[in-house]
Structure 1
Amino acid sequence: MDDQANHVTTAKKECKSCNCKYSKCLKLYCECFAAGEYCLDCNCNNCSNKPEYEELRLKKIQTILERDPLAFRPKIPIDPETLETKAAPHFKGCNCKRTKCLKKYCECFNAGIPCGEHCKCCHCKNSLENYPKQQDYFPPLKEYFKFLVEPLARKKDSEEEAKSDEGSTISEEVIMKNQDWPSYEMFENVLYGKLIYLLTNLS
């Protein structure tokens, strides 16, 4: 029991307390929900991001993932040594239209870093001038790699499903390529290994 309590406490320490008023904490701008954590000791109202609403919570997560499979993946790199976000190239920028990127709806502002070149925001005021000078930081190569290959892995899965259907028009060449990757893990590990090998030889 003590271990479970410690786990909940630790998980909560890693997740900021939210202040959601109208979303029931089931939207991505809820810091707890976006981090994959339940709300605990937050200042939110009418919260559904709790174990007792798990069925509703899972349905909402599934709906979001169907629209954007990368929705819950961190869009801003984290330093593996300090576990803090740093000014660095974003994986995927924000799309703010009316907030000028000065509210927590903006994922960049919420992470405490300026908007970057991948952002598609309008009238942005979340610029580098508003932050203290930081040493340039580049996230682990594997994080970028995973972000790039996941769409390819999903395409592979859809091709395998189509291949299994009767009357499939998938070419024999595509089928042979799919057979090289029996699992996403092998697909990721082999390609990542080849990339590291090439970069090592170039250095």
Structure 2
Amino acid sequence: MPSPSDYDVWLFDLDGTLVDTEWSYTREVFDRVGDRMGTQFSDREAEVLWHGLGGSRNVQLREWGFDPPAFWDAFHEIEDPQARAEATYLYDDAAYVADLDAPVGVVTHCQEFLADPVLDALDVRDWFDVVLCCDDDTGWKPDPRPLELALGDVGADPDHDAVYAGDAASDVGAAMNAGLDAVHVERHAPEKRGHCVLGDHRVESFDDLFDARAE
């Protein structure tokens, strides 16, 4: 297992990695999106799409017969930034991030209008030297470009030893495509995901990752 001193830069995913949202909020969002689209999302479908358990959300939507642009338009119209912030909590083991003595960044698919209120409500914005919210211009994980942009924003060059930690297969893919070490934090049982995600390091909690330095 690595220790914090093993890397010059630490990058993290946000949703499902450092923070998560109360199920009641998630369920309400999918109920409202379903009403807007004239369909219903099961609990399983909502969980898979919210956490990206099936891999690419757009691919999953198409497999289930949903139009991705229509889904995302409805999703972003319905989500209320303040309500989401109030329903979002910080994982206990994310506290390690505040103590990292290196440049630290977030690279997330969460849109800026949603991510900003969450970071402010949880009072963790000052943990990060850069927050990059992916869009069509930056590209989407597992494309490496968002990670490369974040590294550039903190002044890191290709020779820096950097790592990216996330809970999804796309996070591990982005890290590998960018030439970074990948930490997969498994917040869900593999049977829910339907497969294992294998990074350079695979942990169930950041306790497993950071406490290893004391052994």
TM range (shorter): under 0.3
Larger Rg: 1
Higher relative contact order (CA 8 A, sep 6+): 2
Judging by fraction of residues, say which structure has more strand.
2
TM-score by length of 2: 0.25
